[in-house]
Amino acid sequence: MDDSKKKISFIINPISGTQGKEQILKWLDEKLDKSRYIPEVIYTERAGHAVEIAALKAKEEAFAVVAIGGDGTINEIARSLVHTKTALGIIPCGSGNGLARHLQIPMDAKKAINIINEGLIDIIDYGKINDVPFFCTCGVGFDAFVSLQFSKAGRRGPLIYLEKTLLESLKYKPETYELEMDGSTLRYKAFLIACGNASQYGNNAYITPQATLNDGLLDVTILEPFTVLDVPALSFQLFNKTIDQNSRIKTFRCKTLRIHRSKQGVIHFDGDPMIMGENIDVNIIKRGLQVIVPKNVEKDSSNVLQRAQDYINGLKQINEAILEDITHTNRMILDKGKEQIKKLRKN
């Protein structure tokens, strides 16, 4: 074995995301720099399996463990790599790809492989919510509730998430939270409270747009109760990286945050739901994870107007589908009513 070559493991979640993995494996075989790396490919077999694999590779002091999957797979791998000599690599193919997008790792797998070949390492912060690690965002309220519904959907993808968001927002009721941070205590009635290590949920939806991965601080966004008239502006600003400018939004930074609510409920970490109790502690651990990153990171030059329009178009499609479903339901009710009238007349 050539001692100058570095061991690198690629972990694949076969069911995550919205695309197949066979083509990615083909590109990996063609494009990975074999003069530099000794690769192995491992498939996960169950939830939590990636945690075990990554922990073993970190113990073996592999150069890197690369996640081929979405934010959930990245979270499982990264939590085993914190405070080790083994770096996290990402070939994004999930339904959100929040951390990859923040790091400006391309969604194109071939370009992501080229970044791995370059092997540039940066060290980033990570967070904990009641001792559960997260690397992108976590939170309570509506976004956590939707993540729970999304996990039950059986299908993946942005449109499914939008569908769940729209349907559940019609019946979700804001809660009152007490927040303790860095010596201050405040009470808010909130639709959601999002805590960001990185800037976005995924799909370029920037819920904590000013967040950075190396400042040792938690960026907190509170969305207060709003009306249907606020939705277009909130939707646009979410994708325009300006949601912190909305009058319904409160933002602040802190090192630690305690959220107190009246009863236990769902939280989310990197998009995955979990039931937790009344008290929720969130904090940031500075410079805890090595990550393979692009060499020449450019400022975001993508068309934010187009991203916002794509989002609005998605909402329009879902709204039309809902109206069609309502029309169909009403038609069935009317038909059933007519049948009942006919039976009554016969009697």
Write out pLDDT tens, residues 158-181: 444 555 565 566 678 899 999 998
pLDDT in tens, 270-308: 989 999 999 999 999 999 999 999 997 654 444 445 545
Mean pLDDT for the chain overall: 85
Listed range (25-39, 203-217, 300-314) with the worst mean pLDDT: 300-314
The phi and psi torsions of 146 (rounded to 5 degrees) equal -65, -40
> Quick one: pLDDT at residue 318?
42
Q: Which residue has the higher pLDDT, 269 or 70?
A: 269
> Quick one: pLDDT at residue 227?
86
Q: Do the Cβ atoms of 249 and 224 come closer than 8 Å?
A: yes
171: left (phi over 0), alpha (psi -120 to 50) or beta: alpha
> Quick one: pLDDT at residue 43?
94
Residues in Cβ contact with 335 at an 8 Å cutoff, skipping those fewer than 6 apart: none
> Quick one: pLDDT at residue 211?
96
Alpha carbon distance 263, 320 (integer Å): 36
Report the Cα–Cα distance between both ends of the chain, in Å, rounded.
90
**pLDDT at residue 154 greater than cutoff 60:** no
> Quick one: pLDDT at residue 300?
44
Give me the mean pLDDT over the 63-70 stretch.
95
Alpha-helix runs per DSSP H in the chain: 22-31, 49-59, 71-81, 98-102, 109-118, 142-151, 158-169, 231-239, 304-346
| Amino acid letter, 199 | S
- Label residues 274-286 b or e (16+ Cβ within 10 Å = b): eebeeebebbbee
Beta-bridge partner residues of 38: 7
> Quick one: pLDDT at residue 317?
45
Band (28; pLDDT cuts 50, 70, 90): very high
**pLDDT at residue 13 greater than cutoff 70:** yes
Q: How many residues are present in the chain?
A: 347
> Quick one: pLDDT at residue 315?
46
Q: Do the Cβ atoms of 86 and 62 come closer than 8 Å?
A: yes
**pLDDT at residue 109 greater than cutoff 90:** yes
Alpha carbon distance 292, 77 (integer Å): 14
Q: Do the Cβ atoms of 150 and 72 come closer than 8 Å?
A: no
The full set of domains in the chain, from first to last, is 6-119 (3.40.50.10330), 135-280 (2.60.200.40)
> Quick one: pLDDT at residue 273?
93
pLDDT in tens, 80-105: 999 999 999 999 988 789 999 999 99
Alpha carbon distance 70, 202 (integer Å): 10
- For residue 272, give both structure tokens: 């995955």
- Label residues 61-96 b or e (16+ Cβ within 10 Å = b): ebbbbbbbbbbbbbbbbbbbbbebebbbbbbbbbbb
pLDDT in tens, 226-270: 888 888 899 889 989 999 999 999 999 999 999 999 999 999 999
| Amino acid letter, 272 | D
**pLDDT at residue 310 greater than cutoff 50:** no
Band (40; pLDDT cuts 50, 70, 90): very high
